[in-house]
Amino acid sequence: MPETRWTLAVDTSTVVCAALARDGDLVAEARLEDTRAHTEALAPMVQQLCAEAGIPVSGITEFVVGVGPGPFTGLRVGIVTAATLAALAGATPHGVCSLDVIARQAVRAGDAPEEFLSVIDARRKQVYWARHDATGTRLDGPHVTDPAELPDLPVTGPGATLTGRAGFGVEALSAAVMATDWADLPDAGLEPLYLRKPDATVPTSRKSTLLPTGLTPRRKSTSRPGRLKGEPA
């Protein structure tokens, strides 16, 4: 009898979300609407899903992770968590583009137009986006731009409201679709799709310890303080 296939899907490109499927059927899913709690929330969330399914974390056999595009810290937490759990299980983690997941959701909902854009909030008044056809196949992207620079196409996804257009279909990325449909999505590898430089950077120059021209360092005196009257030499 074939072994039961347990699939864990996690995505931290937006908020923290995860789902668990058994042989392609959704068993449990969880979501935390917080864009800054990835580190604290993901591991307990995975444990919660396994408890609901009645299996240990070691019972998971497949691991799927969204590689963005998304913020630096959030993506790292999701990818490292999935890769670590997969390594412990002796499995290979599978990376998928988070925008492809959104497009898949729109297709499954049955209202995807001939061409459309999947959109995620990139902060700094920008959006991540990709162009897809009616089957969810990615035709272009991913990109990060100002909303005004998007092609004139219907939009869907958690960043659709930032475009000033009426979005359709998908308002939040679903880890459940990742867990059940990941094999139908293109392999995106495990490199995070940051698309732009981080806010924090490492200094490229060292602080000089040289004195300005014409100045000399003060030497610390090594002589004893002056003696008080009557003090022996």
Residue 90 and residue 77 in one domain: yes
Verify cis geometry, omega within 30 degrees of 0, for the bond prior to 69.
yes
Residue 19 and residue 54 in one domain: yes
What is the pLDDT, as a whole number, of residue 181? 97
What is the pLDDT, as a whole number, of residue 200? 45
Alpha carbon of 30 to those of 7, 49, 125, 143, 175: distances in Å?
14, 7, 28, 28, 8
Residue 29 and residue 41 in one domain: yes
pLDDT in tens, 29-51: 999 987 676 777 899 999 999 99
- Cα torsion 26, 30, 31, 36 to 10°: value is -120
Residue 233 lies in a domain: no
- What is the strand order of the sheet 25-32 is part of? 25-32, 16-22, 6-11, 62-66, 94-96
> 87: Cβ–Cβ under 8 A, 6 or more apart, which residues?
none
CB distance 14 to 120 below 8 Å: yes
pLDDT in tens, 48-98: 999 999 999 999 999 999 999 998 988 999 999 999 999 999 999 999 999
What is the pLDDT, as a whole number, of residue 228? 45
Longest dimension (CA), the chain: 103
Provide the pLDDT confidence category of residue 206 given band limits of 50, 70 and 90: low
Nearest by Cα to 104 from 175, 8, 163: 175
Residue 37 and residue 151 in one domain: no
Sign of the CA dihedral with 67 first, then 72, 77, and 80 last: positive
Residue 59 and residue 124 in one domain: no
Residue 91 and residue 113 in one domain: no
Residue 26 and residue 82 in one domain: yes
Residue 122 and residue 92 in one domain: no
Residue 107 and residue 157 in one domain: yes
Residue 33 lies in a domain: yes
Residue 10 and residue 115 in one domain: no
CATH number (domain holding residue 39): 3.30.420.40
Question: At 58, phi and psi to the nearest 5?
Answer: -70, -10
- Where in the sequence is the domain holding 111, given as residue range(s)? 99-163
Across the range 140-151, mean pLDDT stands at: 97
Looking up tokens 């497009």, which residue turns up?
103
Sign of the CA dihedral with 147 first, then 65, 24, and 21 last: negative
CB distance 95 to 188 below 8 Å: yes
What is the pLDDT, as a whole number, of residue 196? 82
Residue 78 and residue 106 in one domain: no
Residue 178 and residue 93 in one domain: yes
SS3 assignment, position 156? strand
SS3 assignment, position 123? strand
Looking up tokens 């061409």, which residue turns up?
115
Total tally of structural domains belonging to the chain: 2
- Mean pLDDT computed over every residue of the chain: 88
